[in-house]
Copies of this chain bind each other. A is one copy, B any other.
Amino acid sequence: MIDEKGILFILSGPSGVGKGTVRKALFEQSTNLRYSISMTTRRPREGEVDGVDYFFKSRAEFERLIEQRQLIEHAEYVGNYYGTPKQYVEDTLNEGKDVFLEIEVQGALKVRENFPEGVFVFLIPPSLEELKDRIVNRGTETEDKVKNRLLAAKEEIEMMDAYDYVVVNDQVDHAVSKIQSIVASEHCKRERVSQQYKKALEADQHDA
């Protein structure tokens, strides 16, 4: 039996870009992706369900999991821990299913250390795309405003350098469709496909 591992997809991007909205819209459509639910020590909000929105844990439990290296990454925001449980991601990938993470930029960099073979997608705001178009098309704007936006843009562009793909969140359905294309095309990558074929043939020879 040949193991075909699933692919780990990571969606990240500057805060406020709309990662959560895009992720929710993606999972409302038909998809074979499995969403990896984050773990947190913050209290559930009205309507949030344990094991659906988050795995809700006590601080003591969370810290024990950190010590046991059971989290791929974790961070503390406003006094609460957030993290990605390792077991679910590894088990699901080993079952040959794709896993999808939606995560902050800092967390994504840590995931990259542990899963360099993951596919990292950077979501950018339409304002960055507009800025580029404006520069290209020589629009006029006050000099100070442009300077500030250029500085912010440079930071975002430097952040994207650690990623494999860049998706503009101009419209949620456009962004979702691009992510779906990335998922489909990653499954057609020659390295991945030919490796599977070669393994199948080798396994057959060894058994012959």
Contact = CB atoms under 8 A, between A and B. Distances in A.
Interface of A: 1-2, 121-122, 128, 132, 135-136, 150, 153-154, 157, 160-161, 163-167, 177-178, 180-182, 184-186, 188-190, 193-194, 196-198, 200-201, 203-204
B136 A201 contact: no
Nearest to A161: B194
Contacts of A190: 122, 160-161, 163-166
Contacts of A166: 188-190, 193-194
B201 A153 contact: yes
Given A165-B189, A185-B185, 14 more contacts: A121-B188, A132-B196, A132-B201, A135-B200, A153-B201, A154-B201, A161-B190, A161-B194, A165-B185, A165-B188, A166-B194, A167-B188, A178-B185, A181-B181
Number of copies: 2
A139 to B, nearest CB: 11
A153 B202 CA distance: 12
Contacts of A153: 197, 201
Contacts of A1: 136
Given A160-B190, A184-B181, A197 B132 contact: yes
